Amino acid sequence: MTANIFWFRNDLRLADNPGLAAALERADKTALIYVLDDKAAGDWAMGGAARWWLYHSLLSLGQAIAERGGKLILRRGDAGSIIPRLAAELKAETVFASRRFAPWGRMQDREIAEALKSSGIALRRHLSTYLFPPETIKTKTGGTYGVFTPFSRTCYDQGPPAPAIAPPERIDSPRGIASDALDDWQLTPVKPDWAAGLRAAWEPGEAGAKQRLKRFIREAMQSYKTGRDIPGEDGTSGLSPHLHFGEISPAAIWRAAGRSENSGAGRDIFLKELIWREFAAYLLWHHPEMPEQPLRAEFAKLPWRDDRESLQAWQRGLTGIPIVDAGMRQLWQAGWMHNRIRMVTASFLTKHLLIPWQQGEAWFWDTLVDADLASNTINWQWVAGCGADAAPYFRIFNPVLQGKKFDPDGNYVRKFVPELAAMPDKFIHAPWEANAEVLAAAKIKLGCDYPHPIISLTRGRERALAAYKKISGRTGEKDG
C-alpha cells in the first residue's frame, strides 16, 4: 500500500485543487491534514474574524471529505514537526500542498522540505491560490514590476487559466490517525459573542463560495463598472474571504466570468481586480518585508502621531465623520468593508489623523474575515502613499465629498450609523453643517447622540500635507 499526504493550507476546497488531485492520483491512501500553527505565523497569526471563518470552513471541508469516505485530520502546533512525523508514520513518499506566499509560510516550507528530504520524502507544492507564479512574471529586462499596468499586461499575455479539475468522488484515508476536535481549538467567540453579524452575512465553505459567484455573475457583474463604487448596494462579488481561504480558485472565477453571457465592461473590470490580487501577492513575494516596512523608505521618517484616543474612535466608528464611522461599523458587524470605504477610512487614519498605516493594517487584520497579508499590506501602503504604484500622499480623500459622490442618498450611512437615520440627505455626510432646527428635527444632539468630528477636515488635511512636505519637499495638491 502506498500513502501520500495532502496538507491543506489556504486552499480549503476539493474542486480545482491540483495538489490534492495529484496526491489522490498517486497513492492508494491519502492522509488529508490541516495544521494550525500560530507560533510560526508570529505577528501574522490569524485575527479573530478570520478564526471564526476558519472554524466554519474546516467544518464544511471536513463534512465534504467525510461524504466521500475520507477523513480530515486536524492538528494544532508546530507544523515543522507534525508533518515530518506523520510522513514517517505513514511511510509516505510525498507530501503535497499548495504554494504559500506569506514570508513565514515560505520559510517554514523551506525548513520542512529540508527535513523531509533527509528522510527521502518530497514536498511538492502546486500553485492553486493564485493564477501566476510570481517568479515567472518579469519585465523585458528580466526585472520585477513595481507598477500595476505593465504587470497586468504581462499577466494577460499568459493566456487563459488551466482547465478545471473536478472534485474527487471518493477519498481513501489511512485509518487510525489521531485528530484534534475542531471545537477544542476555540476559534469562535463565546462571551461576548460578537459573531452574530458574521453569521448573518456569510456562508463559509466551498458551497457558499460557489453560490456567491453565481449570484454575482447573474445579478451584479454586468453593472460592476459603476456598481462596485456604491457601498449601499450589493454591487461587488463578496468573494474575498472565500478567495483568501481558497474555497474557490481564482481560475474557477476567471473561467466562470469568461463563460458568462452577462459580459461587457463589468466583466473586464472585475477580472482586473483579480489581477490586483495577483499583484499584491507578487509584491509580497518580491518584498517580504512589506507588511512591516514602507516600500518607499522615506515614509518611515514621516512625523506620524501616536494618538491612542483617535485610533480608538476610528476603530469604534465614533470619529464624527459619518462615512468613516459607517465603514468602521460595517467592518465590526460583518467582518468586511466595501472597497471604496476601505480607501476612505484608511486615508482618514493615515492622513487626517496622521496615524501610522501599520496600526490600521493591524486593526483590519484582526477584524476582516478576508484579512490577507498580501492584499491588506499592499492596499494600506497604496492608500498611505508609501507603496509600489501608490496613490500619491498629497491626494487626500475628502470623506464628505466621497460620501456625497458614492452614497448620495445616504443609504449606507443610515444602515450602519442608525442614529443619523433621520438626517436629511443634504446633511447626512456632514451633520455639523446642519443648523439647530434641522438637527432637532432629526433628533440629533451633536456631542451627545453622535460625536462632533474628532478633527477638522481642513486642519487634518493641512497637517498631513505639512508632514509630507517634511519628507518630500512637495506642496499639497487637490482633494479627492
Ligand X SMILES: Cc1cc2nc3c(=O)[nH]c(=O)nc-3n(C[C@H](O)[C@H](O)[C@H](O)COP(=O)(O)OP(=O)(O)OC[C@H]3O[C@@H](n4cnc5c(N)ncnc54)[C@H](O)[C@@H]3O)c2cc1C
Residues 309-348 that bind ligand X (CB under 6 A): 339, 342-343, 346
Report, in Å, the least distance between residue 434 CB and ligand X: 30
Does the annotation mark 332 as catalytic?
Answer: no
Report, in Å, the least distance between residue 284 CB and ligand X: 11
Does the annotation mark 104 as catalytic?
Answer: no
**The one catalytic residue among 357, 363, 365, 382:** 357
Does the annotation mark 89 as catalytic?
Answer: no
Comparing CB distances to ligand X, the nearer of 234 and 433 is 234
Report, in Å, the least distance between residue 333 CB and ligand X: 15
Tell me which amino acid residue 9 is: R
Place of cell 501610522: 356
Does the annotation mark 285 as catalytic?
Answer: no
Q: Using CB under 6 A, which of 285, 380, 394, 468 touches ligand X?
A: 380
Is 54 one of the binding residues for ligand X (CB under 6 A)?
no
d(CA 434, CA 411): 18
d(CA 462, CA 478): 11
Residues 172-231 that bind ligand X (CB under 6 A): 228
Does the annotation mark 357 as catalytic?
Answer: yes
Is 267 one of the binding residues for ligand X (CB under 6 A)?
no
Strands (DSSP E) contained in 81-223 are 94-98, 122-126
Q: 124 forms bridges with which residues in the sheet?
A: 96
Does the annotation mark 202 as catalytic?
Answer: no
Work out the number of other CB atoms within 10 angstroms of the CB of residue 208.
19
DSSP secondary structure of 212-275: HHHHIIIIISTTHHHHTT-TTS--S---HHHHHTTSS-HHHHHHHHHH-S--SHHHHHHHHHHH
d(CA 281, CA 291): 12
Closest CA to 299 of 383, 178, 386, 207: 386
Q: Using CB under 6 A, which of 56, 75, 267, 277 touches ligand X?
A: 277
CA-based torsion, 191, 192, 198, 200: positive or negative: positive
Q: Is 98 left (phi over 0), alpha (psi -120 to 50) or beta?
A: beta
**The one catalytic residue among 276, 411, 419, 432:** 276
Is 51 one of the binding residues for ligand X (CB under 6 A)?
no
Q: Using CB under 6 A, which of 3, 35, 155, 274 touches ligand X?
A: 274
Is 432 one of the binding residues for ligand X (CB under 6 A)?
no
Stretch that binds ligand X, among 42-50, 70-78, 152-160, 270-278 (CB under 6 A): 270-278
d(CA 424, CA 443): 12
Report, in Å, the least distance between residue 270 CB and ligand X: 6
Q: Is 109 in contact with 125 (CB distance < 8 Å)?
A: yes
**The one catalytic residue among 93, 111, 273, 419:** 273
Stretch that binds ligand X, among 91-99, 275-283, 348-356, 423-431 (CB under 6 A): 275-283
Q: Using CB under 6 A, which of 137, 280, 311, 417 touches ligand X?
A: 280
DSSP secondary structure of 84-109: HHHHHHHT-SEEEEE---SHHHHHHH
Q: Is 110 in contact with 18 (CB distance < 8 Å)?
A: no
Report, in Å, the least distance between residue 410 CB and ligand X: 21
Binding footprint of ligand X, residue count (CB under 6 A): 27
Comparing CB distances to ligand X, the nearer of 1 and 200 is 200
Q: Using CB under 6 A, which of 108, 129, 222, 237 touches ligand X?
A: 237
Q: Using CB under 6 A, which of 57, 379, 381, 402 touches ligand X?
A: 379
Is 383 one of the binding residues for ligand X (CB under 6 A)?
yes
**Angle, in degrees to the nearest 10, between helices 48-67 and 357-367:** 40
Comparing CB distances to ligand X, the nearer of 3 and 323 is 323
DSSP secondary structure of 27-54: -SEEEEEEEE-HHHHGGGS--HHHHHHH
**The one catalytic residue among 44, 52, 53, 304:** 304
d(CA 155, CA 137): 7
Binding site for ligand X (CB under 6 A): 228, 236-240, 243-244, 273-274, 276-277, 280, 339, 342-343, 346, 364, 368, 370-372, 375-376, 379-380, 383
As annotated, the active-site residues are 273, 276, 304, 339, 357, 380
